[in-house]
Amino acid sequence: MKILTVLTYYRPHTSGLTIYAERLARAFAKRGHEVTVMTTQYEKSLPREETMDGVRIIRVPVAARVSKGVLAPTFGWVATKLVARHDVVQLHLPQFDAPGVALRARLFGKPAVLTYHCDLDLPSGFFNRIVNAVVNFQNNMAGILSNHIVTYTQDYADNSPYLTRYASKLTPILPPVELPLPTAGMIEAFASAHETATRRPVIGMATRFASEKGVEILLEALPKVLEKYPHAQVLFAGQYQNVMGEQAYFERLRPIIQKYEASGNWKFIGLLDPVQMAAYYPNLDALVVPSLNSTEAFGLVQIEAMMNGVPCIASALPGVRRPVQMHNMGEVVPISDSSALAEALLKVLANRENYQCDASELTRIYDPDSVAAEYEKLFAKLSGAR
């Protein structure tokens, strides 16, 4: 089968959406499909075309940026040629160009499946309200034109204003999650580099530094945690500098963070590759996901942490709360409640032995190959119906 995957950002850009798309594309290729990813050349240094892990990547030049999105004038022309050459089109939303690609799939008689990652909820402001309205309109047009929609969980679908409109053509499929095995001595080397043997307990946060991620909730919870654990350390893994659209947010929180950096209670360790992440998780005592709004729909890092026996504390957002609820590996706290987050952290840190799961079962459930097989069934059903 020739599968065309379309999304605005792809690797090396790092987000839950791009990681999901990359894992799924690689799994399709390993299962013998011809996979093409159409995306944007959001950095001029990126090649216009390359092949990675058996997946052909085509990047369309960008003329301008708008908020967190891009404008690529030739996107439609390239999409027309690629849709015509493929058997099925898979789109990742939110995406401004999705309705045009879905329409082309209709015209060429190719099934179009949307993978809906999250609702868009940009920070307040007149310009962002316009962007929100435009993207929501585009997403709805894509929803109308597509043949089917996939999202992570029924919990998120039931609470998403967007997804509830399309309940008749919706299928929940759990996301692909995988981690490589760390090389010999890498966990110990990570511990030595970041002093995790002496700075205990270690609290992890693995994400981009973005306003919807709730970094300030963890910062507000820290004083209560430090009362009991004065040597506790937060290891923040992920991009924290020059995050698109988040500079003002970072500057607002930087004075507080610098205070904790000076005392050794907070450390930025930057973007980690998959092997480094596999060494990161075993050095944690807990992982926090204090996300604030529906731009977070699951939190793949929770499953990665649980695969390493690390309990998670997640906010009670639809979808985000499901990993803890499904696998009994942590605590769920009210959204934007720093006091509850502190109490949950203290509870988890004092009772680590109460949070156990079968890592091999998690690996089986979230295996990218199994997820790709579920998509294959959907593609075959849609192709047969057409």
pLDDT tens-place string over residues 39-48: 999 999 999 9
Class of the CATH-defined domain 2-176+367-385: alpha beta
- Give the distance from CA 304 to its chain's centroid: 12
Indicate if the alpha-carbon torsion angle 98, 104, 107, 112 is positive or negative: negative
CA distance 385 to 381: 6
Question: Strand, coil or helix: what is 249?
Answer: helix
Q: Residue-wise pLDDT tens for the chain (386 aa)?
A: 999 999 999 988 888 889 999 999 999 999 999 999 999 999 999 999 999 999 999 999 998 877 666 778 899 999 999 999 999 999 999 888 899 999 999 999 999 999 999 887 666 676 667 777 777 888 899 999 999 999 999 999 999 989 999 999 999 999 999 999 888 899 999 999 988 877 889 999 999 999 999 999 999 999 999 999 999 999 999 999 888 778 899 999 999 999 999 999 999 999 999 999 999 999 999 999 999 988 889 999 999 999 999 999 999 999 999 999 999 999 999 999 999 999 999 999 999 999 988 989 999 999 999 999 999 999 999 987 65
Phi, psi of 55 (to 5 degrees): -110, 125
pTM > 0.85: yes or no: yes
CA distance 305 to 229: 22
Q: Which residue has the tokens 């597509």?
A: 146
Give the fold, CATH level 3, of 186-364.
Rossmann fold (3.40.50)
ω into 282 cis (within 30 of 0) = no
Residues of CATH 3.40.50.2000 domain(s) within the chain?
Answer: 2-176+367-385, 186-364
CA distance 63 to 81: 20
pLDDT in tens, 110-121: 999 999 998 876
Question: What pLDDT was estimated at residue 67?
Answer: 64
β-pairing, 49-52 vs 55-61, is antiparallel
Question: What pLDDT was estimated at residue 182?
Answer: 84
Query: Among 71, 74, 4, which Cα is nearest to 37's?
Result: 4
